[in-house]
Chain A
Amino acid sequence: MKIFAQRWLVFLGCLVVWQFAAASGANPYFPPPLRILRAAGDLWFSGPAWHLWLTSSVGDDILPSLARLLIGWAVAAVIGVLAGIALGRSAVATDYVAPLLSFARAVPPPLLVPVFLVVFGIGPQMEVATIVLGVVWPILLNTIDGARSVDAVKVETARAFRITRSRWILGVVLPSALPKVFAGLRVSLALSLILMVVSELVGSTSGIGFQLVNAQQATFDYPAMWAWIALISVLGYVLNGLFLAVERRVLGWHHGYTGQAGR
């Protein structure tokens, strides 16, 4: 309880200061938090009871956005981990593609939006493609790094016990690389959220990003615009929290192992 208070006291304090500052300033572009909260209530929680009070915007904008984000991230994760393990265990292959990778990851991902707009047109394919190509790099590079640095003693142990190739990859290389893979996945998840919003700002007819820019440019509903922005940060917070919970479970051994390594 004390820790909870410590963590949230400053956050709530800032909200209170913002509330008073915004209320006294009366600037239409910066509505007070309570107005934003009311706008959020109107936007998402004013639906009929048989719909659990959720509005159609939840099903039409939030869920599709989340789906595109998760699909893009998952596809990038599969590609990144598979290619990363293959490249990480082959020094020659890595040497061949290293310059390519360095260039590819240096491209700021949002710049790909215009390209994919031309290729896929407006719609979810464009968004998913943007997310996949934008977030695959941290996963790929981290997996290469992790797969490459399997402990030499474990390599010899596996050889001494004649571990078969598939068990070697799945049972030794992958778990060895997993801490780095998770670090990459976490960065990519945050990046996925950004790219989801950015791609929807320019190339979509629904979704969180679209509604954000719609509130700003078409309806001039600034409290609603801020509500969408707040929603994005809440989503980022929740996704990161869920991710960390999964990581704690999957990598529990890693924290235990490294915690005891000095013994």
Chain B
Amino acid sequence: MTENMLEVTGLGHVYRAKEQTHTAFGDISFAVDRGEIVCIVGPSGCGKSTLLRCLSGLLRPTSGTVSLHGTEVTEVPDELAMVFQDYSRSLFPWRTVAGNIEFPLRGRELSKAQRRERVEEALSWVGLSGAATKYPWQLSGGMQQRVAIARALAYRPMLMLMDEPFASVDAQTRAELEDLVLQVRAEHEMTVLLVTHDVDESVYLGDRVLVLSKSPASVVETLSVDLPAPRDQIGTRGAEEFVRLRTEVAQRIRNTAPTS
């Protein structure tokens, strides 16, 4: 379990637009082990999403390296799947739920029957077996994000990156989806890197929490979360250790000095 899956060294990204430059983050280093859920939490606008896009290979960082299994990431690696915040724009409205999940699988060497099997399996993992022939826009927001998660799961990634995946669903649905991530990780040994601005969420989900400072961001703290599994929305969140950790994370975020 201590195998380094993702290694980030001295990562930085600077946006250049005409005269102005904007440093999204300067010098970020951390590692993610296999089977871990690592939450990256930081204040709004600190460059969390930019960081995730650099990690995924969607965006070329201006300095530093990302390596997955020792191979430097220069484009999106095969073993990686992504869940975006804006599920309604990330899903393809002209495809059914099953069609959305199947679409990325077509590029892989799978027979039609194998693809269908994976789609059905992924749908059952997220509890949407009955919705295969529906269109995403016929579903509620929470169900649409489940479809996006199912699409990532069917892809069988080693690493799942989630960019504020629950930021646009209501509190009840958010709790359900959080538990879905924990359940998926427990059942399928997934490694998850999740970006959020929600302090409680980061502690509830994470094995480790990386706290980022304000822009330009850097890792100001790495906290190990020693809360027992399985975690429970009511029990865990009421535990003394949870409250202590969330307070610590919140304080670290508040204390990060604005540097601009």
Central interface residue in A163, A164, A178, A253, by most chain B CB within 10 Å: A253
**Is B58's beta carbon under 8 Å from chain A?**
yes
Q: Is the CB of A256 within 8 A of B137?
A: yes
Complex CA gap A162/B84 in Å reads 15
**Is B80's beta carbon under 8 Å from chain A?**
yes
**Is B186's beta carbon under 8 Å from chain A?**
no
Give the distance to chain B from A159, nearest Cβ to Cβ, in Å: 6
Q: Is the CB of B80 within 8 A of A154?
A: no
CB neighbours (8 Å) of B92 from chain A are 154, 171-172, 175
Central interface residue in B53, B90, B92, by most chain A CB within 10 Å: B92
Complex CA gap A56/B94 in Å reads 45
Q: Is the CB of B86 within 8 A of A160?
A: no
Report if A253-B135 is in contact (Cβ < 8 Å); known contacts: A157-B84, A175-B92: yes
**Is A248's beta carbon under 8 Å from chain B?**
no
**Is B81's beta carbon under 8 Å from chain A?**
yes
Stretch at the interface among B9-17, B37-45, B100-108, B203-211: B100-108
Chain B 133-160 interface 0/1 with A at a Cβ cutoff of 8 Å (1 = within): 0010110010000000001000100000
Report if A151-B89 is in contact (Cβ < 8 Å); known contacts: A159-B76, A171-B103: yes
Chain A 116-156 interface 0/1 with B at a Cβ cutoff of 8 Å (1 = within): 00000000000000000000000000000000000101101
Q: Is the CB of A256 within 8 A of B138?
A: yes
Question: Which residues of B in the span 82-103 have a Cβ within 8 Å of any Cβ on A?
Answer: 82, 84, 86, 88-90, 92-94, 103
Give the distance to chain A from B235, nearest Cβ to Cβ, in Å: 33
**Is B176's beta carbon under 8 Å from chain A?**
no
Q: Is the CB of B94 within 8 A of A253?
A: yes
Report if A156-B84 is in contact (Cβ < 8 Å); known contacts: A161-B155, A256-B138, A257-B93: yes
CB neighbours (8 Å) of B84 from chain A are 153, 156-157
Give the distance to chain A from B83, nearest Cβ to Cβ, in Å: 9
A160 touches which of B58, B94, B137, B138 (Cβ 8 Å):
B58
**Is B189's beta carbon under 8 Å from chain A?**
no
Q: Is the CB of A175 within 8 A of B80?
A: no
Complex CA gap A159/B76 in Å reads 7
Complex CA gap A157/B78 in Å reads 14
Q: Is the CB of B107 within 8 A of A154?
A: no
Chain B 42-62 interface 0/1 with A at a Cβ cutoff of 8 Å (1 = within): 000000000001001010000
Q: Is the CB of B135 within 8 A of A256?
A: yes
Complex CA gap A107/B94 in Å reads 36
Q: Is the CB of A163 within 8 A of B107?
A: yes
CB neighbours (8 Å) of A261 from chain B are 88, 137
Q: Is the CB of B78 within 8 A of A160?
A: no
Complex CA gap A118/B89 in Å reads 52
Report if A253-B93 is in contact (Cβ < 8 Å); known contacts: A153-B84, A159-B58, A167-B107: yes
Q: Is the CB of B94 within 8 A of A164?
A: no
Give the distance to chain B from A157, nearest Cβ to Cβ, in Å: 5
Q: Is the CB of B81 within 8 A of A163?
A: no
Give the distance to chain A from B99, nearest Cβ to Cβ, in Å: 9
Grouping DSSP codes into helix (H, G, I), strand (E, B) and loop, the A interface class, with mixed when no group exceeds half, is helix
Report if A163-B104 is in contact (Cβ < 8 Å); known contacts: A156-B58, A157-B84: yes
Complex CA gap A153/B80 in Å reads 17
Complex CA gap A151/B91 in Å reads 11
Q: Is the CB of A175 within 8 A of B107?
A: no
**Is A38's beta carbon under 8 Å from chain B?**
no
CB neighbours (8 Å) of A260 from chain B are 137-138
Question: Which residues of A in the span 234-263 have a Cβ within 8 Å of any Cβ on B?
Answer: 253-254, 256-257, 260-261, 263
Closest to A263 in B: B141
Report if A162-B107 is in contact (Cβ < 8 Å); known contacts: A175-B94, A253-B135, A256-B138: yes
CB neighbours (8 Å) of A163 from chain B are 103-104, 107
CB neighbours (8 Å) of B78 from chain A are 162
Give the distance to chain A from B224, nearest Cβ to Cβ, in Å: 29
A-B residue pairs in contact (CB < 8 Å), sample of 12? A159-B76, A160-B76, A160-B80, A160-B81, A161-B104, A163-B103, A171-B103, A175-B94, A253-B94, A256-B135, A260-B137, A263-B141
Q: Which 5 A-B pairs have CB atoms at the shortest separation, nearest pair first?
A: A161-B104, A257-B93, A153-B89, A160-B82, A175-B94
Q: Which residues of B contact A (CB under 8 A)?
A: 53, 56, 58, 76, 78, 80-82, 84, 86, 88-90, 92-94, 103-104, 106-107, 135, 137-138, 141, 151, 155
Q: Which residues of A contact B (CB under 8 A)?
A: 151, 153-154, 156-157, 159-164, 167, 171-172, 175, 178, 253-254, 256-257, 260-261, 263
Given contacts A256-B137, A257-B93, 12 further A-B contacts (CB under 8 A): A153-B86, A153-B90, A156-B58, A156-B82, A157-B82, A159-B76, A162-B78, A163-B104, A167-B103, A171-B92, A256-B138, A260-B138
